Amino acid sequence: MATVGSYLERARILPNPSSSDRDPQGNPYKTNRGLARAWRALLHSYSGIRYAILEESAFRQELTLAAILIPVAAVIPVSAVERLLLIGSVLLVLIVELLNSSVEAAIDRISLEKHELSKRAKDFGSAAVLMALCLCGLTWLLLVGPLLLARFG
């Protein structure tokens, strides 16, 4: 039978993962710990969303769609799981669009000249957004479509 002491013994065998072990060069951008790190992460997240709203027209369009669909999902008569699927599919579109925008920004940072690999990376991101939009549309069609047919059909 294992005791607390035996767990501690085994833990001492493993190396202590100090910050110097993880990053021997030292990353000057990773200086915050604890709540300070969480606060900085929150500020970076806010900055990213703000930038996406100001600079990315596709994100603004999808955000407008989310501003319409999420309140609709909150009031239509569906189960909690179905409501979660409806809202989650809309949020997934926004998440994938943010990731796509980050890929595009990184590619543009590397070089603005046309290159097949840059095109491929951007096309992959665009395809991911398309798949998220299709999933969202299909989710809404399957869950809300029958309600609309029963009401208006």
Q: Which residues are catalytic?
A: 97
Tokens (6 digits) for 115: 């290159």
- 120 Ramachandran zone, left/alpha/beta (phi>0; psi -120 to 50): alpha
- Residue holding tokens 């993880």? 22
Contact (CB, 8 A) for 53 and 98: no
In 42-149, DSSP assigns E strands to: none
